[in-house]
Structure 1
Amino acid sequence: MMRRIQEINGAIHNKNDLSDLLPKMGCPVELNDDDDIEIEVFPDRPDLLSHETMAKAVRSFQDGDTEVSPVEVSDSGVRITVEGDLEGVRPIIMGAIVRGVNTGNSASERDSFIQSLMDHQEKLHMTLGRKRSLASIGVHDLSKLKHPFRYETVSSDFSFQPLASEDVMSVSEILDSHPKGIEYSKLMDGLDAYPIILDSNNEVISLPPIINGNHTTVSEDTNDFFIDVTGFDEIACETCLLLVSLSLSELGGVVESVEVQDKDGSVKVTPNFGAKTYRVPNRLIEKILGMELSDSEIGGAIQRMGGILLESRTITHGSERAERWSDCVVGEREHVFSMPRWRSDIMHPVDIVEDIAIGIGYENLPDILSSVHIDASPLKSSNLHRRIRMSMRSVGLQEIQSLTLSNEGDQFKKTRWPIISEATVISNPITVDHTVLRQYIFPSLMNLLASNRHHELPQRVYELGEV
């Protein structure tokens, strides 16, 4: 990790200084020996899952990299045409081209690059892509392809040579016998048609989200790349595309756009590296951090996190009463921030405040004791819950804790259970998996068992939670 960060940033980092800096960024150091540093990256920061994007984050945190969107995107002239009905199959597709990537000066360096690229791809599949259910990524050797490309559906008897296979196989054979097909075939359950990406020579680029075609295999000689991302979640797909493109651009690659023409004739150009803007009231920053900060201190802190403070101003029009902490009110001060588009973890002004806290350093926040002294005692319900848990453990059951957010499919359609009362629906869900507050716990248990079918039986689990 340390060697790669130094190579990408073109600077020598003191290992001990880097070991002190990384935990401040939210990446605890697991191992620090004479040769390397091993760190843990949490799923809420997918922008830190590759050597290249980590190096960029270190550069910002250490030196205050001021460019929120340093990636310039030129027009490639490449188009993907969506043909057929993919709405219930895999409706979203995006693409990008990156040319002239410096993959290394020796065979071993180029091998390491390919392995690192594959690792980054799989980490994004596991986190943002939710095991490829929301988004899946394909990376291909552009020199072997002829554009324009087509995104359409095929039947189960459609055949091609999948990646790393010597045999031509049908889609049904891939799902039944290929290792990747077996692993992800559940994502194709119930489909009569299957998504496929083809080039102008009818060469198979990808069967998303299962496997690429063997024709487009990335090799040591590959310097120009075509990236496709397909899925069901717009934000997850866009973020995956941006992060893979960003990672390759950090290695000297030039990013080019791809036009996606939908069946209705509408055209979308991807990737879009334009920054996102957020308004945050100064009141919210002071309330959460417990301290007053000058505009320059706020700007410096957010700059270390890769953002820019665009403006600090007094609000002159709008609401005169704050119903929520994050509301901007007339007469109060607010700050306008520009943040990189690939920071999909920023969903609310509170997330900006968290970045400010990290940029300042938690160790520099004031230590304030609560002015209210209350003698604590257990709730009656806590005693009941404790007794239930003890009873469950005594008969050999293991407790799980799942999210209270669920979706209509898991809660009602798959179980064929009625809605107890009007379901509480999330007005602006971030993912299709979290659209309602759950009314039943049982679907969460079933999802857990479905994900652990490879473990031995019996699996004795229970959950005690809110509905």
Structure 2
Amino acid sequence: MPTISCSEHDLLGLIGEDMDRARLLSLLPLAKAGFDGEEDGKLRIELQDTNRPDLWSCEGVARQLRAHLRGATPSYPFFRARAARAGGRVEVDADLAAIRPVVGAFIARGVEVDEATLIQIIQTQEKLCEGYGHKRREAAMGVYDASAIEFPVRYRAAAPDETRFVPLGFEQPMTLNEILRDHPKGRDYRRLVEGKPRYPLLEDSAGTVLSFPPVINSRALGEVEVGDDNLFVEVTGHDLRIVALVLNIMACNFADRGWTIVPITAVYPYDTAFGREVTIPMDLSCTQEVPLAKVNKALGLALAGKEVQALLRSYGVAAKLKAGGIISATSPAYRADYMHPVDVIEDIAIARGYERFEPVMPETFTVGGLAPSTLLADRARQELVGYGFQEVFSNVLMSREETRARLRIDAPLVEIENFVSDTYSVVRDRLLVSLLRVESSSTKAQYPHQIFEVGEVAVYDESAVHGSRTEDHAAALMASGEAGFSDIHSYLDALMYFLARDYRLESRDMPFAIEGRGAVVRVGEKEVGVIAELHPEVLVAWGMEAPAAYFEINLSALA
């Protein structure tokens, strides 16, 4: 969970109310936060929710507590369409659609940056981009002295070996490829742009480089100092909604410190989720409706409609009581976590205070026990260990190359939408991949090798509620100079005997199996697994040095 640090004086100043330490700490749960000690004279505050990045700053915590103390939702005029007159433009190059397609920005002016503000800007930038922005993949932020920028700003695709500028921390100009190779930040974030024919670049209309997003700012414009009073804040990424939310949060943080926010319009030559001209900050508020009866049932209370309305407003949420006892709740523009009516009920519970709920002893007592599927999985483990197999434990996330290309398979997978690394971009749909990953790293160990795993897989299934189904599988693999279909079959036969399941094999060719040496396992008319001697092309793709055979059983289908 994110942990932030801020001075008590700064936090109280943003709240706008003086109070002792004990009272301040007692209010932190309203911001889904807890006190994590003191370091270098500053409070360490641990945020206990990953869905509220607006709270990941001193300003965000103060904003939530201020709404509670004043009983009203905060107001930010720059989110209103009539007030949001753009103060400049960012012009986007068409070639960025396939590289890093999204950019947004605003200007904050009117207050001089002091030491406390500068520390908080840097901290919030790091928390939002590294955490919510998935290590800068979805959101990378730059802050600049706007007084030195000539508008419009251009966001363009640049040649890696021809474009040069002086990056922060260095004295001499470097090409973009030199930055990726020699600059510490370049080495940290080159994975985000490597392999592209051109790289993203932000420069002003005079040709002065602002930054090489998402890697490093330029030394010329990308270094904010104490005393600056006119700042340009930009965020680049792949998802416009994420970029806009990060900028909304930053705009509110600056506004809470007295800065005037001037929106910036990004002009795209291609379509985006919000059109071709996008002005940010923008209103991302969402409305959820929930019956009052459902609120009371979920919380075990008998709250009146006006009481619920007041609780939501004290939590920074605009609320209306509609006909039929319906609560209409609208999240503020800097939040994007209203996805279900239950989110509204959670806000009501937090605003009321969990400590005010009276504990109730359960009226029904039951004796717990292991689920049948767990008992079956444990029995499979015991048997395979008894046969001399060694258990492995693997990550359920794999790469597409491992789960498809190396197995000679072409079929849909459950994919991770906002993956950080290609290595963990899909969910495995069979344990074979995990066993092969282990075996490919064990070629120097003495043969024979016998390994197994019991674990979950996610199978792509359009007919399922969420488009996939989760299954418990057991799989075993043996590799040696003599490993073959009959060898692994003997172990499958023994396992099914001790699991008390009658089965039969039905010959079937599979992409990862040698022709004529693969079969499906059937119990009754139900297909519950596969058995195969692995194809030489699969062995070569995984860098294996000995023949291998394996079986895999769907324990969920047997339970």
Deviates more, 1:289-298 or 1:184-193: 289-298
Distance 2:40 2:232 in 1: 38
Query: How far apart are residue 443 of structure 1 and its match?
Result: 8.4
Q: Letter of the 1:359 partner, please give it.
A: A
Q: Secondary structure at the match of 2:316?
A: coil
Structure 2 residue 349 is the aligned partner of structure 1 residue 344: no
| Alignment partner, residue 218 of structure 2 | 213
Deviates more, 1:278-287 or 1:199-208: 278-287
Distance 1:444 1:232 in 2: 30
| Mapping 1:155-170, distance limit 5 Å | 155-157=159-161, 158-170=163-175
Query: How far apart are residue 235 of structure 1 and its match?
Result: 2.3
| Alignment partner, residue 357 of structure 1 | 349
Q: Secondary structure at the match of 1:347?
A: coil
| Mapping 1:370-389, distance limit 5 Å | 370-383=362-375, 385=377
1:342 to 1:438, Cα distance in 2 relative to 1, 3 A? farther
| 1:131 pairs with one of 129, 135, 160 | 135
| Alignment partner, residue 189 of structure 1 | 194
1:275 to 1:211, Cα distance in 2 relative to 1, 3 A? same
Contact 2:288–2:338, Cα closer than 8 Å, also in 1: no
Q: Secondary structure at the match of 1:181?
A: helix
Distance 2:18 2:27 in 1: 14
| 1:11 pairs with one of 14, 17, 38 | 17
| Alignment partner, residue 461 of structure 2 | none
Q: Letter of the 2:9 partner, please give it.
A: R
| Alignment partner, residue 542 of structure 2 | none
Contact 1:95–1:257, Cα closer than 8 Å, also in 2: yes
Contact 1:101–1:248, Cα closer than 8 Å, also in 2: no
| 1:233 pairs with one of 208, 224, 239 | 239
Q: Letter of the 1:418 partner, please give it.
A: I
1:389 to 1:299, Cα distance in 2 relative to 1, 3 A? farther
| Alignment partner, residue 458 of structure 1 | none
Contact 2:16–2:66, Cα closer than 8 Å, also in 1: no
Structure 2 residue 121 is the aligned partner of structure 1 residue 117: yes
| Alignment partner, residue 277 of structure 2 | 267
CA deviations on 1:371-413 (whole Å, 9 max, x unpaired) are 5443221123324556788999xx999967768xx9x968867
| Alignment partner, residue 223 of structure 1 | 229
1:384 to 1:264, Cα distance in 2 relative to 1, 3 A? closer
| Alignment partner, residue 288 of structure 1 | 298
| Alignment partner, residue 549 of structure 2 | none
- Figure out how many residues of one structure are paired with residues of the other and give that number: 423
1:253 to 1:34, Cα distance in 2 relative to 1, 3 A? closer
Distance 2:246 2:233 in 1: 10
1:304 to 1:163, Cα distance in 2 relative to 1, 3 A? same
Contact 2:78–2:263, Cα closer than 8 Å, also in 1: no
Contact 2:143–2:234, Cα closer than 8 Å, also in 1: yes
TM-score, L = length of structure 1: 0.80
Distance 1:416 1:380 in 2: 32
Distance 2:98 2:403 in 1: 19
Distance 2:296 2:270 in 1: 49
More strand as a share of residues: 2
Distance 1:49 1:11 in 2: 21
Query: How far apart are residue 189 of structure 1 and its match?
Result: 2.5
1:371 to 1:263, Cα distance in 2 relative to 1, 3 A? same
Query: How far apart are residue 156 of structure 1 and its match?
Result: 0.9
CA deviations on 1:159-207 (whole Å, 9 max, x unpaired) are 1111232110000000011011000001112201111111010011111
Contact 1:102–1:252, Cα closer than 8 Å, also in 2: no
Larger RCO (alpha carbons 8 Å, 6+ apart): 1
Distance 2:405 2:228 in 1: 45
Structure 2 residue 36 is the aligned partner of structure 1 residue 30: yes
Q: Secondary structure at the match of 1:85?
A: helix
CA deviations on 1:243-293 (whole Å, 9 max, x unpaired) are 111111111111111111111493111111464322223343233222232
CA deviations on 1:349-380 (whole Å, 9 max, x unpaired) are 21111111111112223434445443221123
Query: How far apart are residue 32 of structure 1 and its match?
Result: 5.8
Contact 1:90–1:230, Cα closer than 8 Å, also in 2: yes
Deviates more, 1:346-355 or 1:205-214: 346-355
Contact 1:129–1:136, Cα closer than 8 Å, also in 2: yes
1:295 to 1:225, Cα distance in 2 relative to 1, 3 A? same
Query: How far apart are residue 306 of structure 1 and its match?
Result: 0.9
The sequence identity of aligned pairs, in percent, is 27
Query: How far apart are residue 18 of structure 1 and its match?
Result: 1.2
Distance 2:434 2:68 in 1: 39
Query: How far apart are residue 116 of structure 1 and its match?
Result: 2.0
Deviates more, 1:346-355 or 1:179-188: 346-355
| Alignment partner, residue 152 of structure 1 | 156
| Alignment partner, residue 91 of structure 1 | 101
Distance 1:238 1:67 in 2: 19
| Mapping 1:316-465, distance limit 5 Å | 333-383=325-375, 385=377, 418=409, 423=413, 431=418, 439=429, 464-465=455-456
1:67 to 1:381, Cα distance in 2 relative to 1, 3 A? same
| Mapping 1:40-55, distance limit 5 Å | 40-42=46-48, 43-55=50-62
Q: Secondary structure at the match of 1:77?
A: coil
| 1:198 pairs with one of 200, 203, 212 | 203
CA deviations on 1:90-149 (whole Å, 9 max, x unpaired) are 011111111113423xxxxx3x42222111101001221000111111111101101011
Name stretches of at least 5 consecutive residues in structure 2 with no aligned partner: 1-5, 438-452, 459-559
Contact 2:404–2:410, Cα closer than 8 Å, also in 1: no
| Alignment partner, residue 315 of structure 2 | 305
| Alignment partner, residue 144 of structure 2 | 140
Q: Secondary structure at the match of 1:13?
A: coil
Contact 2:317–2:330, Cα closer than 8 Å, also in 1: yes
Contact 2:156–2:201, Cα closer than 8 Å, also in 1: yes
Distance 2:402 2:33 in 1: 35
CA deviations on 1:53-95 (whole Å, 9 max, x unpaired) are 2211111123323335455654243011112311220011111
CA deviations on 1:310-369 (whole Å, 9 max, x unpaired) are 23322xxxxxxxxxxxxxxxxxx3211121121123322211111111111122234344
Q: Letter of the 2:93 partner, please give it.
A: E
1:285 to 1:400, Cα distance in 2 relative to 1, 3 A? farther
| Alignment partner, residue 249 of structure 1 | 255
| 1:60 pairs with one of 64, 67, 90 | 67
Q: Letter of the 2:131 partner, please give it.
A: T
